[in-house]
Structure formats: structure tokens, C-alpha cells
Chains A and B, each alone.
Chain A
Amino acid sequence: MISFKMSPHQIQVKEVVHWFAENEMRPISLASDQHKRVPDEWLENINQLGIQLSTSSFGDSDSTSEESDQTEKRKKSERQGNRLAVIAAEELGWGDPAIALTLPGPGLGGPPVQASGTPEQKRRFMSIFSRDEPPRWGAYALTEPEAGSDVSGLKTTAVKTNGGYILNGQKVFITNGARASWVVVFATVDQKSGRAGHRAFVVEKGTPGFSCTRLADKMGLRASETAELLLEDCFVPEENLLGGESYYEEKSAGHTGFRVAMQTFDNTRPIIAAMATGIARAAFEYTLDFVQHEYPKHGRSFHTASTILAKAQQEIDASRLLTWEAAWKADMGKPNAKEAAMCKSFSGTISLGVCSRCLEVLGPDGVEGHLVEKLYRDAKIFDIFEGTNQIQHLIIARHLYEPLGVRI
């Protein structure tokens, strides 16, 4: 039966995360943007509360025997993990997207480890995130200076050697890349074989030959770390090849690093979309409140503001529903690549548009030390990372034409 009502559990998650966003994130939001850093002390406190940006509830298709031993009850609760994750992500985006991406935890590195890691790797890499330990991060390093949208063009090489691989190459724009305890690095063992040659490695902080060369200054999302990473004759042991060698040897299963990378996107895009929806909602709510309290309830400006706000709410609703659908499909175990691309594309665009129009309503008063001004700068990245808007269009179009026998 179709229902857009949240369950009591979902409402509870939303309320708890919203409380956190409002009372913990918002108070440090503007200062973190200014200092281009989330305060360490804050991160330590948050870690003790056990709060993370949940991306790793996705992609549990490759469940291991160990996991299949879990109780029926646990599985049942996991099946709403995707919906819970997007509900929470919208609230975190509402609070502050840059801080949300800096919350301790495996971050975007979580899904590939969960989806393709061996049980031993999952244990080893995921167990370090604990509220009893200092805050830690994981990261996901796919993009290179010359390979962003076109992942198949990545140039970082992995050469087999005794007991492991030697990695050489450069990665750019890696979220939490400098602070991460480990980074899932995508490299090629054979450039000629294209995607089939791709492998995913977990490179641990402190590994000789692995360094952060620069942090990028950005338009927005300034409190979130965006790192350039260098791999120079960096030895990575065999045990850190995600899934192990056997995973890639089973050719029939079609396992490649490329697939690992893409699977991650299908799973994380709804979360990114939810955050973008949260950004738009934050700008909308702030502006609505401003108009309610400051505007006269008649006249031209009032009518202009009314239409702008009505349009904003309509777009936010549509964005949320597209996102929920993608998450629901994932929960149901159905393919969701098209829906994930749709919600990501739509939310990225409307988020920027809503912020821009809210700035118009607020006028010049809205740019001084202001939340909506910051949200506008933050929102633009949601059109770019995790696959640009054009790439989402390609994915959607491919799915539309595929049944008609046209490959684009």
C-alpha cells in the first residue's frame, strides 16, 4: 500500500537527529565555515555520543555467512536502513552539510568496505569506529586530476609485488582524505584492460609513500576537508585489496574495482540527495520565518515572497519523495540506479535554486554573517560530487532507452 507516512521509529530517528542538528551543529556552523574547520573538541564530544553520518547501511547485498547468521529481527530492521539513512541525512544537511560530512565514521569509504570487503576486512576496518576510541574517519578516493566523471580513465597504478601491491598516482578532491585512518583507493592493475583492471585498496594512514599534499580552498562546504593525496611507490599489503584476490579472480561474477565504485554511488546518492533537500529546507524555513515575522502581510513584496516560498516548498517535497523512493527501492532489494540518479540530479538543482531565491527574499540583509548565504555556497557541490548532474542525466536516459534497445 502506498504511504508517505513515517513509522514511529522513523519519526523518532528524525526527531533525534533534528535535535542534534539544531542544538549541536547549528551553533558552530558559521564559525566552522569561517575557520574552514570543525573544532576538534566538538568532534571528540560527538564521537563519544556515537553519532555518525550513516552511509554504510547501504549495499549489504553481498552478505557474508557470518551475517546470514544474524537473527531474522536484525535483518528486518536493516531493511529500512536506507530510509532511515535518508531521513537522518536530510536533518544533518539541514543542520550543516559540511559538518555532516566531517562527522566521525567511515563516511563514503564505508559502503565499498561493507559491500566488497571480506569478513576479516570488514571487522578490521569498521571496528576502529567506536565511541570509546578517539574520533576516526574513513575516506573514498576515486577522483584524479584527469579522471572524475570518467572513472575508467583513472591512472593510479597498482603493480603486483611480493605480498602486496605498489601504488603510484595522485587523487584529488578527497573528502576527509587527510584526517582519515584509511582511504579506499581505486587503482588499475592493467590500464589497457580498462575497467576490468580496476581494483580497490584500503590504504592506511601512515603507510610509507602515502601523503596528503594539499587541502583545497572552495566556494563553500569550507568546514569539510577536501584533500589531494599522493601515492609514491606506496606498498599496500595483499590483505588490503578489498575483497581479496579471489574476489576479482571469479571473472564470471564480474567483480572489478569499477563495479565496487559504481555500486557505492548507487547507494550513496540518495544520502547526498537527502542532504541537498535538507539544505533547501533550511533556507526555506529560515526565510519563511523571516517573512512571517518581518514582512507586512499585504502588498507587493509579501506576494512575491509568497510565490517564491510556495515554489520552494513544492520543490522540496518533490525532492524528498524522489529520494525516499530511491531509498525504499534499496530497502526492498530492488535495483535503484535510475531513482538514485533522479533524486540526486533533482535535489542538487533545486537546492541551489531555493537558496538563491531565498536570498532574493532576504535581500542585502541576508548576506551578512548569514546561514542562507552559506547554504547557497554549500549547495552548489551537490550538483557536482557523487557524479555530476550531467552524469545523472546520462544514467537516467540510459535506463529509459535500454528497454527500447538503444544504448547511449
Chain B
Amino acid sequence: MISFQPTVDEIAFRNLARNFAKEKLRPLARDFEEKRQVSDEISRGINELGFSALELPADWDGLELPLISQVQIVEALSAGDLGGVQGFRGPGEAASLFRLVPAHPLFNKIKKTTREKTWPAVAFLNGNKPNHSSSLRLELQSSGGGYLLNGTSRPLRMAKYAGYLLVGLKDTTGEQLLIWLEDHGQWRLLEGDYRLGLLASGFSKIQFHDTVITDEQVLAKGHEAKVLLSQMLTRTRVLEAAKEVGAMEAALDHAAVYTAQRKAFGQEIAKFQGVSFTLADMSIKTQAARHLVWQSALKVDDRDPEGEAASQSALQFAHQSLRFVTDCAVQLLGGHGYVQDFPVEKWMRDAQAQIIFTEGESELLLDHGERLIVGEERGGLHDFIQNVAASNPG
């Protein structure tokens, strides 16, 4: 039966997230940006309240929530400050992989630390994304029993603080690999000059120089790796899109309150249709984006074969709407929107950075469109994942 009613538990958790976002995250957002990191106190709060364990498997002491519950909580948090949320140190995108193959022996160490509540940060290097800059090429060459990894990644979120690195990359023969690195010594940070947005997220490039990857560090190979990566990306797309909806909600709320109070030409500017219709458009896009996120979360939770396509569609629409909504929020504040006395200019910068650091709009549309026209190996993915999980002794 069609219903848009969250459960009582979801409402309670969402309210908790909303309060945390409002009282803790929002007031410190500029400070995080300036210091280029989220404070330990906030990170502790996030962890203690369970926000970083939403996606983690139950036997890692995680909450293992369905995506439909997670997206509501993540949205509420991001409405506090997207930059702050992206600056939390924790498992990041890798949480979805832990969820898919919780018993993989390579995860024993991080599982232990996670259960001890020390919350190490994990960075994710998706080497499959098209990378056209000649200075940023990664090469994974088979060598002896393992591989040699060389080259420089594009800037990665959390790279600066990461104790672990998850790498999805094809080797020189085109075989897909998923690699798990837990020794800092295997990579070098190439920190850069970042000014756009999400400045507390620990961006850095990562450099490899003849890094030896042993077979033991390979999580999965070939078809298995491809499927795992695609399943992981499906989940992270939904969660990233939910964060974007939260950022839209923040911008929408701020613009509504501001335009209701600001006066020009003898009346509240909200009374001008140029303003009110813009605000209405912002709200339509936000709500539509939210529904697409919910739809994709439900499909993934239901193991619907269309889950991946729905995640691409949801993230693409969220990107497009996020740009529109945050830009309009700046616009509706006029000159006050452009200066740093108000948060909207930061949200617009954060939004653009968020879009750049996740999959691009055109890329997502093309992936989705190709899938519609050509089709993909449908079904079976989940069964496959379950088999992978089962075949790995914990």
C-alpha cells in the first residue's frame, strides 16, 4: 500500500539527528571550515549517538538499518551542515562494503577497532571513474604473486585522516580488483590547495610509488569485485543523495525565513512573485528529490533489480536540484547571500564540491540511460553477494 508515513522509530531517530544538527553542527559549521576539520567533540557526539553506525553490520555492533531509515536520518543531519557531515571521520563509503561482506577476513582489524569504538577513518579510491588528467593516472600491474601500484589519485575525501584505504581499480589487463590497505606506509599524501567547499572533509590526493599489493590485500577480483563494487556504489549513491536533500532543506528553510522578514519596496520580499515562485520551485525540487531518494532506498532494501538504476536517477536529480536550490538561496538573500555573514554562500560552495566529488550528472544519466536501452545482467546480484559473504569465513 502506498504510504509516505515514517515509522515511530524513524521519526524518533530523525528528531534526534535534527536536534544534533541544529544545536551542534550548524553553529560550528564555519569553525570547521576555517580549521579544515570537524572537532573531536562533534565526532565523539556523532559516534556516541550512533550516527556513524547506521550502515554498519549488526555483528560489528552497527545498527544495520535499512536504507529507507538511514536516508531520513542522514538527511536530517545534513540539514545542519553538509560540510560538517562530510567531515565526520568514520568508515565513510566503505561502510556499505562492510555491510555487504561483513565476515571478510581482511576486515578483522577494522572490525575490532570499530567495536572498541575508536572509529578509524577510511578513504575510498574509486579508480574506475573516468580520469582524464594525464598527471593523475593509476596503474596496477600484475607482478609476481601480487601487483605493483603506481600513480596519483584524484583528490579523495577523508584521505588526510584515513587509517585505511579501500581501492577499486582495474589492473592493466582490465580485471577489476577491490583492494584493502591498512598500512599508511603504502601510500603518500599529496595535499593541495582547496577553496571551493566541503573544506573540513580532509581532501588530499594519494600517491603510490611501486606499492606492492599482495594477494592477501585483494578483497575481491574479477566478476566478484565488479559486483561488490557496483552494489556498494548503489548504496553509497542513495546515501549521498540523501545528504544532498538535507542540504537543500537547509537552504530552502533559510531562504523562506529570510524572505519572509526582509522588506523592500514597502513590503516583505516574499510578496513578490519573483521571490515566492522561486521559493516554491526550490521546495518542489527538494521534495521530488527526497521522493526519488526514498524510492531508490526502498528498491535497494527490497533487492529490486532496478535498485542500481534508481540510485543513479536519484543522485542525478539530487545533484541538479542541489545546484538549483543552493544557488537560489544565495540569490534570494541578494548581496547578503554572497557574503560570509550568512551560511547560504557556504552551502552553495559545499554543494558544488559535493557534486564534483561524487559521480557527475552526465555520467549518471548516461549510465541510467544505457541500462534502460541495453539492459544489464538483471537479478542474481544479491544472491551472488550473499554467496560471497557466506563463502568468506569470518
**Which A residues are closer than 8 A to B by beta carbons?**
33-34, 143, 146-150, 152-153, 172-173, 216-220, 226, 290-291, 293-296, 300-301, 304, 307-308, 352, 356, 359-360, 363-369, 373-374, 376-377, 380-381, 383-385, 388-390, 393-394
Contacts and interface: CB of A to CB of B under 8 A. Distances in A.
B185 interface: no
A364 B362 CA distance: 15
A226 B339 contact: yes
A130 B219 CA distance: 70
By Cβ-Cβ distance, the 10 closest A-B pairs, closest first, are: A369-B193, A150-B264, A219-B345, A390-B274, A368-B192, A217-B340, A304-B362, A364-B154, A365-B133, A294-B132
Contacts of A380: 327, 330, 338, 345, 348
Contact of B132 (A301, A360, A394): A301
Interface in B302-361: 323, 327, 330-331, 334-335, 337-341, 345-346, 348-349, 352-353, 355-357, 360-361
Given A294-B133, A364-B155, A384 B196 contact: no
Interface of B: 129-134, 136, 154-155, 192-196, 205, 263-266, 272, 274-275, 323, 327, 330-331, 334-335, 337-341, 345-346, 348-349, 352-353, 355-357, 360-363, 366
Given A360-B361, A377-B349, 5 more contacts: A152-B265, A153-B263, A226-B339, A364-B154, A384-B331
A36 to B, nearest CB: 11
A367 to B, nearest CB: 5
Nearest to A374: B195
Contact of A367 (B155, B263, B360): B155
Nearest to B130: A301
Contacts of A172: 335
A363 B154 contact: yes
A296 B205 CA distance: 23
A147 B266 CA distance: 11
A267 B340 CA distance: 29
B206 to A, nearest CB: 12
7 contacts: A172-B335, A173-B335, A290-B132, A293-B134, A300-B366, A307-B362, A390-B274
Given A219-B349, A359-B352, A368 B193 contact: yes
Contact of B340 (A148, A216, A383): A216
A366 B193 CA distance: 11
Contacts of A217: 339-340
Contacts of B363: 300-301, 304
A173 B339 contact: yes
A374 B193 CA distance: 12
A360 B132 CA distance: 12
Nearest to B358: A364
Nearest to A173: B335
B334 A149 contact: yes
B132 A369 contact: no
Contacts of A373: 195-196
A406 to B, nearest CB: 15
A219 B348 contact: yes
B263 A359 contact: no
A393 B274 contact: yes
A206 to B, nearest CB: 26
Contacts of A226: 339
Given A300-B366, A301-B130, A373-B196, A219 B361 contact: no
Contacts of B196: 367, 373, 376-377
Contacts of B339: 173, 216-219, 226
A390 B193 CA distance: 35
Contact of A218 (B275, B323, B340, B366): B340
Nearest to B357: A364
B334 A148 contact: yes
Nearest to A391: B274
Contacts of B330: 219, 380, 384
A37 B340 CA distance: 17
Nearest to B361: A360
B340 A219 contact: yes
Contact of A294 (B134, B331, B337, B361): B134
A376 to B, nearest CB: 6
A366 B203 CA distance: 13
A388 B338 contact: no
Contact of B154 (A147, A294, A365, A394): A365
Contact of A352 (B193, B263, B327, B334): B327
B136 A153 contact: no
Nearest to A376: B352
Contacts of A308: 362
B362 A143 contact: no
B194 A149 contact: no
Nearest to B133: A365
B334 A216 contact: no
Contacts of A220: 338
A214 to B, nearest CB: 10
Contacts of B331: 383-384, 388-390
Contacts of A150: 264-266
Nearest to A153: B264
Contacts of A384: 330-331, 334-335, 337-338
Most chain B CB inside 10 Å of its own CB: which residue of A149, A364, A385: A364
Contacts of A301: 130, 132, 363
Given A218-B345, A304-B362, A366-B356, A143 B338 contact: no
Nearest to B204: A368
A306 to B, nearest CB: 11
A384 to B, nearest CB: 6
A218 B335 CA distance: 10
Given A365-B154, A368-B192, A360 B356 contact: yes
Contacts of B194: 367-369
A294 B137 CA distance: 11
Nearest to A293: B134
A148 B335 contact: yes
Nearest to A148: B334
Contact of B131 (A147, A153, A365): A365
Nearest to A393: B274
